[in-house]
Amino acid sequence: MKLFILRHGMTAASDADERRELSEKGIEEVEKIVRLRRDDLLGVTRIYSSPMKRVKQTLQIAARILDFQGQIIDSEYLTTGSRLNEIINFASELDFDVGDTLVSSHQSCTSILVLWLTGEDILIPNGSLLAIDVEQPVQGAGKILWQQSQNSSDIKRATDFVDQF
């Protein structure tokens, strides 16, 4: 299956964390990315969300653009501050035999999930999308297919940025 990881768009910084909404720029980021990669996402049969408002907004935009008719499933495993074992539990509960999956969450969760599935430490900027080919929920079993951010289709490895200093 393909696992797509969509990081929520930019937010308005004034609200409390759990109520923080997408900014106008964040809405535009999500719309742009999903439209750009719409054909890749048409096989999505399940969508999982952090319960935070900005993530739900991100996935509502994606679902509208994809004409997704299913339910967006909230997962407590995808909240900020989730630990490795919670992310592993989430990955283990995914049904790898029923189409592609779209997940949206926060930097910490998305980075942990990608690192556990692929062994790669990838930076996922706000409003960007990453595709992983994975057949089973086993550490290191996934392969990164591509990453799309607002102005680039380069995969953003953390080591690339560390090496600059």
Q: Report the domain count for the chain.
A: 1
In which band, very low, low, confident or very high, does the pLDDT at 165 lie, cut at 50, 70 and 90?
Answer: very low
Amino acid, single-letter form, for residue 68? F
Q: Give the chain's mean pLDDT.
A: 89
- Tell me the sheet residues that pair with 49: 74, 104
Q: Edge-to-edge strands of the sheet including 2-7?
A: 72-74, 44-49, 100-105, 2-7, 129-133, 143-148
CATH of the domain at 97: 3.40.50.1240
Residue 56 token pair: 């739900």
The residue range of the domain holding 74 is 2-162
The tokens 């430490």 sit on which residue? 121
- Per-residue pLDDT of 12-29, as tens digits, reads 775 556 678 899 999 999
Residue 64 token pair: 């509208």
80: number of Cβ within 10 Å: 14
**Rounded to the nearest 5°, which phi and psi values hold at 67?**
55, 40
Strand 129-133 relative to strand 44-49, pairing: unpaired
Strand 100-105 relative to strand 44-49, pairing: parallel
- Per-residue pLDDT of 87-145, as tens digits, reads 888 888 888 888 899 999 988 889 999 999 999 999 999 999 999 999 988 999 999 99
Would you say residue 164 has pLDDT above 70?
Answer: no
